[in-house]
Amino acid sequence: MRPPGVGIHRSRPPLGLLLYVAAWDGRLVWRSADEFALIQPPIARGRDWARSAAGRTWLGRLDRWWDHLVFGVPPFLLLTASVPAAFVPVVGPRVALLLVGIALLYILAQVTVGLILRSVNRMWGTSGDSVRGLHWTVVLVHLTDPANADRLLRAALDQSQYLTRTNIRPDVAEGTHALMCLERAVTTVEARQAVRDAPSATDSGPDRPGVLVVFDGGGFVPPDPGAHRQISFIPLLLTGTALAVAVAGLLVANAEAGACATAQDCAGRPATWIDAMTWLIYRMVLDDAGLTPATTQARIFGWLMPQLGLVVLLCLVVAGRRQASTFKKRQARTYAHLEATINRRLRVLVLTVMDVERDAVIRAVTAANGRQAEPDTLGGYPVFRLGRLGDQGTEVLLAQFAQGIVTPAAMMLTAERLIPAVQPDYVILAGICFGLWSSEHDGGAQGLGDVVVSEYVHNVDHRKVTDEDGSERIIWRGERVPASTPLLLAFKAATPGWTGRPVHFGTVLSGSTLVGSATLRAQLRREFEEAAAGEKELTGVYVATAGRRSGWIMVKGISDWGTGELTDSTRQLAAKASADFIVHTLTFGIPPVRPYG
């Protein structure tokens, strides 16, 4: 939060003033005294932030210029005071010499010790500036209740997105908007572990240990590292050095001119300001330019100049090496690894209709990861954040809609609006369905509570009904669409280690009709001999994901046979089987690859 500056001081003001400034311009995400976070804009966008309404306040300027003010103001005041002091009779030159010497020593100490500290920080990997290049950064997190870590991180991410939209012009080099969180910025060990485990946080990889990336779903596009503008203190150093040499030259010229005035022979001595400046500049490289001073004051300045020249040269060499180093390549590798790390993390949206289906999913996920469901709102619709499952850290969210696909609160319209807000990689429809191959009634292999996974969905609402020879004829025109291949293969790969109810794969009939008729069921079995089950919402899921990057599948338990014998106990049995198999696949199965398109 207060990293080292260009010298021995910190680059940010004291904590109290810093928090006040951050609250003033919107960078303090405050929920209570026990739950808050401080964010900082990306270094590469510092100029845009400085020109924004938030950055133009005098407090914002004080925060940004604190480093330069502490570095430059004291020697500037000393050098400024030395000019009138030099004209005071008798003691004036000595006072001016003392002031200039203190100013030069201040600069030397700041630069020398500052370089050492910065080198040590880079050696021990405590700088963290590279991760702040093109992304906002969390530099302080305070939590007394670790359970609120994910909520606070998401609030900080939302605030950084808002500040970017309102204060910083769009930049194609930014890539996906993400928030970097420094682990050392978290105030307690318990909160630090909670931040690491937060579903919204992802490790940035071995190239950047101690840095977490906060983002809320979707894939990750890395920024262009070439857009990172490094912040350098070289211009300030050169300006300060030129000012110091100019003032020192004035004092040397006055001393030498006064000493040689009685002899009326100033040849070969830096008795004019131009000669004194030339002599001091040459002294920085251990030359005398053919001039020899005779006063003690000039000799002292001459002794200080090589030291100042050495520091300036060292700074120029360090800055040049940094500019010519492989910074961009290292940054590109970091973000490339970050992209691969994040894109291996999957986000799954589980959709349900009935309360018993919703509760079964929540119980199954909570039993697997020990995390309580967190209600939230995305896209204007309520969702439950259930945390992560499996070694890969698949994030699971849950939403509940009304039955069918034709009402405003039903699956098709609501899912079509919710999916862009959630940006899931996959959508899984969970819950209950009716079976079509009962071992008791049809000679099949299905039993109540068995799990059905959709290989295809066949819409049975779209049909043409005609009369031919005095009898009704139905022409089925609904689409038969395959489920997402990576997700289907993942569920098939999870069956060998599954010890629950039997799992059946096949075509699922989807229509708006609630089937509770033996006659209608028999008709469906005749027309669709390969169908395994039927339900009401899967067509809506397929339509809602069409044209989007999200894959889809249905995993439901058999609660009845479509003949009207549905009961609460069979609902609970089927919903539990469906939820358990989904959690088993996401926890212990082979996770699907991220879909594209």
Q: How confident is the model at residue 132 (pLDDT cuts 50, 70, 90)?
A: low
Q: What is the pLDDT of residues 259-292, one digit of tens each?
A: 887 767 788 888 889 988 999 988 888 888 888 8
Measured from the Cβ of residue 102, the count of other Cβ atoms closer than 10 Å reads 15
User: Does position 332 have pLDDT exceeding 90, yes or no?
Assistant: no
Determine, yes or no, domain membership for 87.
no
Distances (CA, A) of 340 to 75, 346, 550: 49, 12, 18
Q: What is the pLDDT of residues 79-96, one digit of tens each?
A: 888 888 878 887 788 888
Does 429 share its domain with 560? yes
Percent of the chain with pLDDT over 70: 85
Q: What confidence score (pLDDT) does residue 597 get? A: 47
Q: What is the mean pLDDT of residues 521-535?
A: 90
Q: What is the pLDDT of residues 404-432, one digit of tens each?
A: 776 777 777 888 888 888 889 899 999 99
Does 409 share its domain with 548? yes
Determine, yes or no, domain membership for 292.
no
Does 352 share its domain with 497? yes
Domain with 133 in it: 15-78+125-227
Determine, yes or no, domain membership for 86.
no
Using CA atoms, how far apart are residues 113 and 522, in angstroms rounded to an integer? 87
Determine, yes or no, domain membership for 232.
no
pLDDT, mean over the chain: 83
Q: What is the pLDDT of residues 506-523, one digit of tens each?
A: 999 998 888 888 888 898
Q: What is the mean pLDDT of residues 15-31?
A: 87
DSSP three-state, residue 141: strand
**With contact defined as beta carbons under 8 Å apart, do 22 and 135 qualify?**
no
Determine, yes or no, domain membership for 522.
yes
User: Does position 146 have pLDDT exceeding 50, yes or no?
Assistant: yes
Q: What is the CATH number of the domain that holds 553?
A: 3.40.50.1580
Does 51 share its domain with 188? yes
Domain end point (choices 201, 227, 253): 227
**Token reading at 265:** 């022979």
Does 403 share its domain with 540? yes
Q: How confident is the model at residue 482 (pLDDT cuts 50, 70, 90)?
A: very high
Using CA atoms, how far apart are residues 388 and 361, in angstroms rounded to an integer? 13
Determine, yes or no, domain membership for 304.
no
Determine, yes or no, domain membership for 99.
no
Does 214 share its domain with 358? no
Using CA atoms, how far apart are residues 596 and 417, in angstroms rounded to an integer? 20
Q: What confidence score (pLDDT) does residue 126 get? A: 47
Nearest-CA neighbor of 154 among 376, 400, 379, 407? 376
Determine, yes or no, domain membership for 364.
yes
**With contact defined as beta carbons under 8 Å apart, do 409 and 390 qualify?**
no
Domain end point (choices 204, 227, 250): 227
Using CA atoms, how far apart are residues 160 and 45, in angstroms rounded to an integer? 13
- What is the pTM assigned to this prediction? 0.69
Domain end point (choices 178, 210, 227): 227
Q: How confident is the model at residue 532 (pLDDT cuts 50, 70, 90)?
A: very high
Number of structural domains, the chain? Answer: 2
Using CA atoms, how far apart are residues 251 and 239, in angstroms rounded to an integer? 19
User: Does position 479 have pLDDT exceeding 50, yes or no?
Assistant: yes
Nearest-CA neighbor of 300 among 243, 237, 248, 239? 248
Map 46-89 to HEC letters: HHHHHHCCCCCCHHHHHHHHHHHHHHHHHHHHHHHHHHHHCCCC
Containing 95, the helix (H) or strand (E) segment is: helix 92-123
